[in-house]
Each structure stands twice: as structure tokens, then as C-alpha cells.
Amino acid sequence: MRLTSKSVALIPIIATVVTAAIGATLIAPPAASAATTLGAAAQQSGRYFGTAVAAGRLGDSTYVGILNREFDMVTAENEMKMDATEPQQGRFSYGNADRIVNQARTQGKRIRGHALAWHSQQPGWMQSMSGSALRNAMLNHVTQVATYYRGKIYAWDVVNEAFADGSSGGRRDSNLQRTGNDWIEAAFRAARAADPGAKLCYNDYNTDDWSHAKTQGVYRMVQDFKSRGVPIDCVGFQSHFNAQSPVPSNYQTTLQNFANLGVDVQITELDIEGSGSSQASNYDRVTRACLAVARCTGITVWGIRDTDSWRASGTPLLFDGNGNKKAAYTSVLNALNSADPGTTTTTTTTTTTTTTSNDPGPGGCTASVSLNQWNGGFVATIKVTAGSSALSGWRVTTTLSNGTVTGSWSASGSGTSGTINWSNVDYNGNVPAGQSTEFGFQGSGSGAGLNPSCTAS
């Protein structure tokens, strides 16, 4: 048979990459030449290393020197919060946030947005609102700010600190919570619509210990969101540690269990009070916990020098007040340098990425799967990519021979095993030419052999 260019284009190209190994702990060899900055060291395993930045310190040359040298991700410490960006209702103010964004972007750094909706640091006008007026004001805020920064934000903390401390495992009481329990998912949907390219995170503190009621409450919310297709991509663990709130022994378990729901996990506001070798060893543990979880995509510390910290007296950061590297800095750098480039040192899960490509041409689409498999269960994340023209709807077919779907998000499936047809939901059917959207499902048994194929509908 003569292969025409058309028939060549239709031959599927299947590439399978196994990105993590099962079994005994991998002791990865050190990178060929160790990186000398935190950002470069994190990049060796595809992660980032970021810091909170205060606009008011951008005139301090020691501060900016360390920022430019060491970090590849930036979070505005206060400047993107609701009180800063909408000081009067409907009048938005981005001056200080833009100073941080522009500084980061001119240095090639990415940006985490913090935070679109929060019970705290609300502008005065919002603090006194309630009911549907508050709900609408909150949604308008999310839409306006996420739209203003569309395309510039790697991940947004869409909702911050919405769960209660203590043993209830429930929501924190706040004016936003009193607008209805669905306020969080409403915020996520508004953020997705405003900036479809940003990862959308739920961010909280005291969620590091797997046995805590608050951790379990957040876990159940993320599980529920995933099962109902609420657009959530990541969970941020603030990780403010001190003697009263030490690094828990099950920290890595917590990160892994959330990741197994099919979200990225990020350490978003790390600081650990203390000094010397005990502080250094705590930083080492936190860093290695992230490195051991394939979907822990990066770490952000909450400030640069101890004197920049919101709790400066606890000397919780990686640089001292003079900008010198502390023992904690060295332990983080060494831990990052010990990561096996391109792989992760997880002990229990295998992540496989299979790309099936058959050059869809105009009107077509392709699908690829990233499979996170562990003993007895799996999470599959499927990426749908439009061909050379935009999609207004899509359908993906998968084969599940030895597993059963227990929950899915961002698509509706025709069944739970065997051949399953997945269709887009209302908010992700439109995919611009060459762009992608993701959906996923979790299941029991094996997710092997899914072999997704995509058609436009």
C-alpha cells in the first residue's frame, strides 16, 4: 500500500513514559553537577522554588539581589489580597501587585496569585456586606482580578483558609460562608471562566497532619469537587511550622493522599521557626516530602530574610537579617540537588504518561493520559488538545479492562468500566485551536491500557 501523507498522518504514534518507579525507596544519584541556587536546584526535577515578595522591599538591593538569584516563583505577600486590589467597591487598584508581577516577569519568574477570596483582609466595604450582595461582590472580585491577570498567573489561591480549626472538620464561620456552602465552588468556577490557563488552588494552614479533622475536612471537599467536576487543580499547604505546630511525621502521607485525588499539591507559605541544625533538619524533611510526591510541584517560602518575615522573632526563613545563607538554606539546596532529575522518589505509585497522537487536522483533537497508579487504585488525568481549529465539544473514548471508575471530574462518562465514552461538560467544550483542557477520573483496580482517543462533537 502506498502511504499517502493523509494515511501517514493517521498512524497513531504512541509514546509511553514511566516517570516514577514502584518498590523500594529510590536513592537517586546526585545530579551530575549540583545546582547552586534554590530555583535551579528545584528545576532539575521539574519543580519550582518560590518566595513571598513585599512590594515595599523592592527598593532594597540586598533583598532584590537574593530574590533575582535564588527564586523562580513569586507570591505577592499582601498586594493581591482583596483589600489591596479592590479598596472601594468596583474600583480596582493594582499598582503594588503590578510592581511585583513586573519585577518577576522581567526576571523570567512565574507568579502564584494570592488570594482571590478570603474571610480575612477584606476591604471595609465588603466586611459589612452579606447575602446575595456579598456573594455577587465576591464573584465580581474573583472575575475582575483573575481577568486582569489572565495569562500571567501560574496558580491562583482561589479560596484561602475556609475551614475551621479544631475538631469539627467543617467550614469556618465567615460572612462568605454565610452566603451559602457553595460559595467556594462558585469562586472556583468564576476563576476558571476568567483565566482558564491558571491552575486553581484551595490554600490553607494546619492541614499538614493527616490525622487532623481540618485536614480531613479539606480532603473531603476536594474529593467532592473532583467527583462533581468543580474546577480545582491544586491544594496549597501553607506549612507555617513552629514548636506548637511542628512538621508532622505523616506530612508526606498527607501530600500524597491529596495528590492521589488528582490534584497538584504545593507548599505555599513555608516557614519553620528555630535555628541551627534542628531548623535545618526540619527544612530538609519538608523539602524531601515534596520531592517524594510526584504531584508536589513546588515549594514557596514566606519571605526571604528572617527580618522580612511576618514572624521575624522566630527567625523562620532561609537567610538571616543580613542576607547570609543559613544552615536551613544549605539543607534545602542539598535536598533539592539530591532529587533524581526527571523522576520522583515516591515509593508507592507509578505515574505513566501515554501520548497518542494522530495529527487530527482541522476540526479534530487528540487525547493523552497521565496515569497515577498505586496498589489497588488509580487516578487518570486526560488532556484533550484541539487540532488546527477550535473545538466546540469533544468526546474521548477510554478502555478500562481491569478497573472501575469511582469518581470523575470535568467530563461525564457513559459507564464505569470497559469502553467508556466521556463528553465535555458545559464549561470545557470550547477549546481554542492548539489549546488543551483536562478531565479525569479515579478508580479501583488497574487503570492500565486506557488508550484514549478523541473526536470532535
Q: Which residues bind ligand G2I (CB under 6 A)?
A: 77-78, 120-121, 160, 205, 238, 269, 310
d(CA 385, CA 357): 10
What are the C-alpha distances in Å from 223 to residues 12, 78, 93, 111, 442?
Answer: 34, 29, 35, 26, 10
Please tell me which residue in 86, 269, 273, 438 is annotated as part of the active site. 269
Q: What is the DSSP string of 38-96?
A: HHHHHHTTT-EEEEEE-GGGTT-HHHHHHHHHH-SEEEESSTTSHHHH-SBTTB---HH
d(CA 281, CA 345): 19
d(CA 395, CA 393): 7
Residue with cell 498505586: 374
Residue with cell 518566595: 51
Nearer to ligand G2I, 77 or 98 (CB): 77
Nearer to ligand G2I, 302 or 441 (CB): 302
CA dihedral 223, 227, 233, 236 (to 10 degrees): -10
CB of 326 to ligand G2I, least distance (A): 19
367 preceded by a cis bond (ω within 30 of 0)? no
Write the CB contacts of 409 (distance below 8 Å, at least 6 apart in sequence).
Answer: 225, 226, 227, 228, 229, 230, 262, 439, 440, 441
Residue nearest to ligand G2I (CB): 310
d(CA 212, CA 371): 29
Nearer to ligand G2I, 78 or 346 (CB): 78
Please tell me which residue in 161, 185, 273, 438 is annotated as part of the active site. 161
Nearer to ligand G2I, 235 or 336 (CB): 235
Nearer to ligand G2I, 217 or 447 (CB): 217
CB of 55 to ligand G2I, least distance (A): 10
Nearer to ligand G2I, 84 or 191 (CB): 84
Show the cell assigned to 101: 508581577
Residue with cell 472601594: 88
Closest by CA position to 306, among listed 329, 330, 331: 329
CB of 268 to ligand G2I, least distance (A): 8
d(CA 232, CA 162): 15
d(CA 28, CA 24): 12
Helix (H), strand (E) at residue 435: none
Contact yes or no for 25/289 (Cβ under 8 A): no
CB of 236 to ligand G2I, least distance (A): 9
Nearer to ligand G2I, 38 or 301 (CB): 301
> Helices 251-259 and 213-228 sit at what angle, rounded to 10 degrees?
10
Closest by CA position to 452, among listed 357, 372, 361: 357
CB of 160 to ligand G2I, least distance (A): 6
d(CA 51, CA 74): 5
Write the CB contacts of 6 (distance below 8 Å, at least 6 apart in sequence).
Answer: none
Nearer to ligand G2I, 73 or 400 (CB): 73
Whether 161 is catalytic? yes
What residues are labeled active site? 161, 269
